[in-house]
Amino acid sequence: MIYFVRHGQTDWNVEQKTQGHTDIPLNADGISQAETIAKSILNLNINRIISSDLLRARETAEIINQSIGVDISFDQRLREINYGDLEGIPRTELTPNIWDVFNDTPEKLNAEPMSSVFERIKSFFDELNQHQDNILIVTHGGALRIIMHYAESRDSYDKEKYSNSHQNSKINNASIFQWNKEQTAIQPVFL
């Protein structure tokens, strides 16, 4: 079984700033959320943790691991989407036209195309499929949406399918999900 956790809260989450590769730490609530996750997942028999290397995910993973004490590693492929020039801008200031540019021609904003995010996620899971452990993956909201798309499609990024099924999914800080790799859907976990 693979379990997923979105990192705990940051100040940029509170301020609704676009947060991609910018390395923002957890705030006090985010630290508390990570501690709560650690207590709630003790019975899941996690064998190892793999986390995005960005600070907010890394801190979340390290706090969780203080309670479960397993091997922990960090992987850049689990990073959030790189939003380029949009990073640090409050979401309330980003118009639908700006999001259209981001979705259709992200290079104009020095941003990462979704197809590239999909390819790095696919690369991670192609490698991970060789392992049979119960794994906890600590990552980001945007990356989790792409992971959900990957679970359904496995082979290639489908822009229309992603737009219709996951692009606007709400994933709260410290949300927990699970995935049996034989299934095509990632499910929320309520502990």
Residues taking part in catalysis:
7, 80
Two tokens at 23? Answer: 């390395």
Task: Name the one residue in this structure whose structure tokens are 């709400």.
Answer: 170
Contact 52, 21 (CB under 8 A): no
d(CA 78, CA 74): 8
Q: What is the dihedral of CA 146, 60, 5, 24, to 10 degrees?
A: -30
131 φ, ψ to 5°?
-110, 145
Q: What share of the chain is helix, strand, coil (3-state, %, to 5)?
A: 50, 15, 40
